[in-house]
Amino acid sequence: MAVYKRSYHGYAGPLTPEWSRFAILPRYAYTRLFQSKIMTAFFVLCFVSPLVFLTLIYVANSFGSIAKMFGATEARSPITVDGEFFIVYLGVQSFLAFILTSFVGPGLISSDLANRALPLYLARPFSRVEYVVGKMSVLLILLSSITWVPGLTLFAVQSALAGGGWLLNNLWIAWAIFAGSWIWILVIALLALALSAWVKWKIAAGALLVGIFFVASALGQAINAALDVTWGSLINLGDVFTSVWISLFRSHESPHVSPGSAWIMLALISATCVWLLYRKLRAVEVVR
């Protein structure tokens, strides 16, 4: 099928390993995503807060030297780098990750459904699971790069500055950053994909994702206030995630939702999203 010959011939060359093909989708998605200047600018902005936290870590560990420069001899740093410090970091980064998801997520599947592209994917040696994993990888990689990757880098810097003793005593913080980030990333990625699969209009899907967080939060508080109960917080995803993070980061704050209920709620949300994706992602839609 050479261009100059304009005749058809088959392909007999090598093939890529089947397990690696899901990674083709994020590669193409990033090429398109980063063609948008707004998207690129926002992604770069997401690294400003890790830089701020890096500065705070440096200040916390070098406070004595800095104070001496200003003539103070016995000053104590007002900043303590501990679980509470990293829970604040994770709160800021997960908010940015959420905004990024509401930009990127809604268009991932809805455009394929609107343009009836699914039969093209699924007529190839490429399963529905690989399709979902490929589309999800777009978010997983993007969100990882602004949450746990810089988070663990900050942890490493703090360990280097504070010494081996601090690292051994606080190794659990590294696990908390990693696990807390992944829980957030997985749940919002699944939510974004499920909404993208069911709401063909990208803007509506984005609005719905925002609504699920903010409207549900208001609704949960209204239920708590009106009925004098606490289970209304279960539909407030912010409270649910905070509860999980508080338990992971061993924070002294008391959560609105018990960690057990929060874990169950997150498992339910994830299972519902997987079910919604399973129902919707088919090569051919059967009209009953």
Chain positions contacting other proteins, by CB under 8 A? 1-3, 6-16, 18, 21, 24, 28, 32, 111-112, 114-117, 119-127, 282-284, 286-288
Dist CA 60 CA 80 (whole Å) = 7
3-state secondary structure 118-170: HHHHHCCCCCHHHHHHHHHHHHHHHHHHHCHHHHHHHHHHHHHHHCHHHHHHC
List all residues 6 or more positions away from 112 whose beta carbon is below 8 Å from its beta carbon: 118, 121
Q: Which is nearer to other proteins, 68 or 116 (CB)?
A: 116
Rg (alpha carbons) of the chain, rounded to whole number: 23
Q: Which is nearer to other proteins, 23 or 67 (CB)?
A: 23
253 phi and psi, to 5 degrees? -70, 150
Cβ at position 281, least distance to other proteins in Å: 12
Q: Residue 182 is encoded by which pair of tokens? A: 């992944």
Q: Which is nearer to other proteins, 136 or 177 (CB)?
A: 136
Q: Which is nearer to other proteins, 54 or 122 (CB)?
A: 122
Check if the beta carbon of residue 250 is closer than 8 Å to that of residue 175. no
Dist CA 143 CA 124 (whole Å) = 29
Cβ at position 244, least distance to other proteins in Å: 36
151 phi and psi, to 5 degrees? -60, -45
Q: Which is nearer to other proteins, 127 or 270 (CB)?
A: 127
Dist CA 38 CA 40 (whole Å) = 5
Q: Which is nearer to other proteins, 78 or 125 (CB)?
A: 125
Cβ at position 217, least distance to other proteins in Å: 32
Cβ at position 284, least distance to other proteins in Å: 5
Cβ at position 124, least distance to other proteins in Å: 5
List all residues 6 or more positions away from 91 whose beta carbon is below 8 Å from its beta carbon: 245
Check if the beta carbon of residue 196 is closer than 8 Å to that of residue 110. yes
Cβ at position 6, least distance to other proteins in Å: 6
Check if the beta carbon of residue 127 is closer than 8 Å to that of residue 230. no
C-alpha dihedral sign at 239, 196, 102, 225: negative
Cβ at position 107, least distance to other proteins in Å: 8
Q: Which is nearer to other proteins, 120 or 271 (CB)?
A: 120
